[in-house]
Structure 1
């Protein structure tokens, strides 16, 4: 039996796991996920009858292989297309028609985490949640992992690493692996630039009447980078209610990332009132929030060291590998890496 260890249960890792499981019957996959959820920044929460995607907003219809995976390979029950275009604004906050494309903007009635859950449901992989990997070890031709509680996992014939580039680099920095390639990998992965995002979620007991699903800041000069209306996703918000996902811009997010969350939410409420020009929005009946330290990679990783690592049974996946902060890019990277892993085995 061939054993594979996977660090993280993001979209890319679950796609790679799906490919391996479908191609090989003699493979045992063990996934260690630090949180209680699945699918990384494609994250979903629920509060009563309300469902909301508070990280990545939707899955784009931009890659034919990913589209086939979502619409033909996987169960499509509850798959929904977000209603409405995306409008735009610049520093002055003047909102007007913007991204009125024909691309589908998918989610699920139960939220974007369904992507990872449905992929894993098609496999025999074992997932251990709330298990943070603390150390990577190379033992001969195999890999072993140690979690934050000191428990050892493995040995594994191959290792797939899915955390954002900075966290992956931290794991490599402390890895017990004496090979010159480690330094090349560290240099390449450390060079991937990231943007932080701080998000406020605002719920209202009334429905907004707007011609758009979301508005986006196109010049990166406004304090708010994005506001989306979750009620535009069928099944997410009951009729007569509204829920806004407000993502602060990069500069604002970095300046206030460590600030008291209540203060951040209050300031983002004020900014939302001004941008959408609606005083009713000053008093949401409940709120939520999340800071994403490593949210958006801006450039792809240098591919040479990543390719060389496969000779050691070491594979890296995630949207930071292609350098495109989109779920479809992460899924495509996972599918491609899964095939490389199968051939490598």
Structure 2
């Protein structure tokens, strides 16, 4: 008899797990709290622009992931950003970086396409707008409930992929009187995260720079990352520029609750100073996104994850892999999906 498997979260890890389970004798249901997929690898559209305002691209640091993106999945519209990432220091001094030969992949329609193409290769049902709030241990499996205490069904195995603090909250609500549940929650809850506030700045003119992005290397600048979406085919119309300005974790924590206009005004001034172009203080439209749990700075112990799997409860994500990168989350999802298929 086929297993019923629930995946909580439709980010890169959840999509990777569903892909790995595509040929398993199982019915897969994915519960995603937002309206889209791919989590922090997110894409928005506005005024003929597409922009990746969370994770900006997928790196080629993992052979399994690279083969998946370039050989197994549909490659139509796949974009390999040609321009390099340069660096800058606390004084705003810009210098050449070291990744000129690295692949930096996204899609003409945005990096969200990664999860969409993975799910398209499966029979998984993705339920958007569903926030799981309570996993209940029941009959050698799990029953899930949403925030309205609506019964989402009984599952033989459950995979949790939200950021570690949100996964810890789910474990805290679990009706599972087992020492492991407490140990698991404590281990997950202490995974540290960096908070990032992103400002999106659009301009009705072109910029000529030899780099795609700048990254701060000493963690002493208010800007942590600045990138140019016009370097991605299909993202920005000719004659326009679109900057993604991700503020430093310290700045982001201090200004997390600021008004959008305050955030974009400060980000625009910082971008103008960094790029030595005062035109950038006056974008013609802007957008923002606050990521409270943007980047995991550590992982969770393998031993605890293994013990949870013995009870049909699985964990996946960049915080399980111990590396805050899209390719790490995807690889961990692929591995965890294969592990579930072998159970």
Q: Provide the TM-score with structure 2 as the length reference.
A: 0.98
Contact 2:200–2:244 (CA under 8 A) maintained in structure 1: yes
Matched residue, 2:319? 320
Q: 3-state SS of the aligned residue for 1:312? A: coil
2:171 aligned with 1:177: no
Q: 3-state SS of the aligned residue for 1:160? A: strand
Contact 1:144–1:155 (CA under 8 A) maintained in structure 2: yes
Matched residue, 2:261? 262
Contact 2:83–2:100 (CA under 8 A) maintained in structure 1: no
Structure 2 distance, partners of 1:310, 1:33, is: 21
C-alpha deviation, 1:327, in angstroms: 0.6
C-alpha deviation, 1:100, in angstroms: 3.7
1:83-122 aligned at under 5 Å gives the runs 83-122=82-121
2:39 aligned with 1:40: yes
Contact 2:8–2:31 (CA under 8 A) maintained in structure 1: yes
1:156-235 aligned at under 5 Å gives the runs 156-235=155-234
Structure 1 distance, partners of 2:341, 2:139, is: 21
Structure 2 distance, partners of 1:47, 1:261, is: 17
Structure 1 distance, partners of 2:156, 2:235, is: 42
Cα deviation, 1:168-194, whole Å, max 9, x if unaligned, reads: 000101111111111111121112110
1:266-281 aligned at under 5 Å gives the runs 266-281=265-280
Matched residue, 1:8? 9
Number of positions where the alignment pairs a residue of Structure 1 with one of Structure 2: 342
Cα deviation, 1:113-167, whole Å, max 9, x if unaligned, reads: 1011011011111111011111111112111111123211120000010100000
Matched residue, 1:72? 71
2:22 aligned with 1:21: yes
Structure 1 distance, partners of 2:59, 2:99, is: 14
Q: 3-state SS of the aligned residue for 1:215? A: strand
Structure 1 distance, partners of 2:273, 2:80, is: 29
Unmatched runs of 5 consecutive residues or more in structure 2 = none
Structure 2 distance, partners of 1:285, 1:83, is: 27
Structure 2 distance, partners of 1:111, 1:87, is: 22
Matched residue, 1:82? 81
Q: Provide the TM-score with structure 1 as the length reference.
A: 0.98
Structure 2 distance, partners of 1:285, 1:324, is: 36
Q: 3-state SS of the aligned residue for 1:172? A: helix
Unmatched runs of 5 consecutive residues or more in structure 1 = none
Contact 1:9–1:33 (CA under 8 A) maintained in structure 2: yes
Structure 2 distance, partners of 1:212, 1:28, is: 45
Q: 3-state SS of the aligned residue for 2:152? A: strand
Contact 1:227–1:246 (CA under 8 A) maintained in structure 2: yes
